[in-house]
Amino acid sequence: MGKILLEMKNITKTFPGVKALDDVNFKVEEGEIHALVGENGAGKSTLMNVLSGIYPFGTYDGEIIYEGETCRFQTIRDSESKGIVIIHQELALVPQMSIGENMFLGNERGNKNAINWNETYGEADKYLRMVGLSESSRVLIKDIGTGKQQLVEIAKALAKNAKLLILDEPTSSLNETDSKALLDLMLEFKKQGMTMIIITHKLNEVVYVADKITVVRDGSTVETMNCHEMEIDEDRIIKGMVGREITDRFPKRENVNIGSINMEVRDWTVHHPIYTERKVVDNVNFNVRRGEVVGIYGLMGAGRTELAMSIFGKSYGSSIMGILYVGGKQVNLKNPREAIDAKIAYVTEDRKGNGLVLSNPIRVNTSLANMDGVSNKGIIDADKEYQIAVEYKDKLHTKTPTVEQNVGNLSGGNQQKVLLAKWMFTDPDILILDEPTRGIDVGAKYEIYCIINDLVKAGKSVVMISSELPEVIGMSDRIYIMNEGKFVGEMNAAEATQENIMACILQSTSTGGDE
């Protein structure tokens, strides 16, 4: 057994109406990668927020021992001064500032009177090379992709002399290539003696990098598995997380009854809203039928979200050209309100930024897209709004003591259910789901898959955009493959394999994006 770097003893943390952590114990050895896994709402992020000082000493019970010393952190600066650095799921970077400015924001190089810019950019460049980035630290954050922004966050942590690096869902916004590169970087840091805690719902990543795995369920630690002493696979981890074996990740759809075309897009082209000469969607054609799940898969930057948003009342892009048919009729939807009236719903991939109002309760969020459904002559009927919210909470099995709970206090999976409820309350015929299970655990994913199956069973049409190939293959009746703004292939469920889909993308890239 190696030297214990961190020990958290008997940690208990309570929020109004909820015990988030109940007598949790957690040990991390020096120089290991320790995975912390559990369903949404299990308490993983809360435990790390206690450790990092986001929840200060005095707001929880228990003890934190780090490097043999009892710590009582009051702020995140206190923990960072000890070399404990947390990288959150939502990147904390300022798009309009340079990489170097972001890396030392709040940790500036210089003296009280002035920032030493030569030192700032010189040090930033050094740390960027350490994480494998060749960009100049003078480049603006907005001009680099999400994968590189994640590496900037890691370089920023290294610049704070991190000894214990905590990564919360580090690959949730990355494609498979960038995810693999980040995991390999973690393994390289481990060789250099760094200790890391990783929180992720991607269990294949846990198996790939972790030395130990601690499972948290319902706010309590269930078990810690040593990956060097026992055979660990994804099914074994799932059993620990949910307390039972899940034999099928994707629920079977019974009595499949695919009907007539419900939405059709012809010759659809969208230009970038700022760089208007650039096509982000290039002459796309597709359709979705009643009772059908159509998947759209592509690598990061393929144009999937841009396509979805442009269909949803032209909420993205400029110079949008093409023809849209809904229910067999040609329509020109000029804004999201007209799209909602045409019975189209768009469930955004960015639930926290664009999908929900985190500071408002579940009750308010549920009715946001259909205020007419809870009002009379322009006046909201609070009782009806409450009743509707409770109905959807029960229908979707949202875990919350009350619909008056602020959405920001819910776990990611339960926030996703509120977002689905918001759009289901509009009674759409066509649902466009953009990354509907991003950042949520295997149990919550299964529940959302069941909701999707119920929707198509009722004759709705679902377009599902996902970066997870097994999910697209497991849930779709047909799959369109997108690359560089174009649709480069179409497959039915029977012929869709990960190898066939990736081969389609690679072939289209090598031939300039044409089918």
The pLDDT tens digits for 120-156 are 999 999 999 988 888 899 999 988 877 788 889 888 8
Rounded CA-CA distance 34/91 in Å is 21
Rounded CA-CA distance 199/206 in Å is 9
Whether the predicted pLDDT of 504 surpasses 70 = yes
Task: Using the structure block, give the residue that is written with the tokens 């400029």.
Answer: 318
Task: Calculate what percentage of the chain has a pLDDT beyond 70.
Answer: 97
Q: Is 394 helix (H, G, I), strand (E, B) or coil?
A: helix
CA 137 to chain centre: 27
DSSP-assigned letter for residue 173: T
Helix (H), strand (E) at residue 45: helix 44-52
Contact between residue 331 and residue 311 where contact means Cβ atoms under 8 Å apart:
no
Whether the predicted pLDDT of 440 surpasses 80 = no
- Angle among Cα 26, 400, 13 to the nearest 5 degrees reads 30
Backbone angles phi, psi at 514, to 5 degrees: -90, 150
Question: Exposed e or buried b for every residue in 438-460, given b needs 16+ CB within 10 A?
Answer: bbbbbbbbbbbbebbbebbeeeb
DSSP-assigned letter for residue 253: P
Contact between residue 200 and residue 169 where contact means Cβ atoms under 8 Å apart:
yes
Task: Using the structure block, give the residue that is written with the tokens 């205020």.
Answer: 371
Question: For the chain, what is the mean pLDDT?
Answer: 89
- pLDDT confidence of residue 246: 60
Tens of pLDDT, residue by residue over 308-329, are: 999 999 999 989 999 999 999 9
- pLDDT confidence of residue 286: 97
Whether the predicted pLDDT of 204 surpasses 70 = yes
**Measuring CA to CA, which residue among 141, 6, 158 is closest to residue 71?**
6
Which amino acid is residue 176, in one-letter code? E
Using alpha carbons, list the distances in angstroms from residue 325 to 119, 122, 344, 462.
58, 55, 12, 15
Tens of pLDDT, residue by residue over 84-111, are: 999 887 778 898 999 999 999 888 888 8
Question: Exposed e or buried b for every residue in 467-505, given b needs 16+ CB within 10 A?
Answer: bbbebbbbbbbbbbbbbbbbbbbbbeeeebeeeebeebb
Contact between residue 419 and residue 433 where contact means Cβ atoms under 8 Å apart:
no
Whether the predicted pLDDT of 374 surpasses 90 = yes
Contact between residue 343 and residue 428 where contact means Cβ atoms under 8 Å apart:
yes
- pLDDT confidence of residue 515: 37
- pLDDT confidence of residue 510: 47
216-239: average pLDDT: 87
Instruction: Report the 10 Å Cβ neighbour count for 92.
Output: 10
pTM of the model: 0.67
Rounded CA-CA distance 95/317 in Å is 20
Rounded CA-CA distance 385/408 in Å is 19
- pLDDT confidence of residue 509: 63
Spatial strand order of the sheet with 261-271 comes to 279-289, 261-271, 318-326, 329-331
CA 51 to chain centre: 23
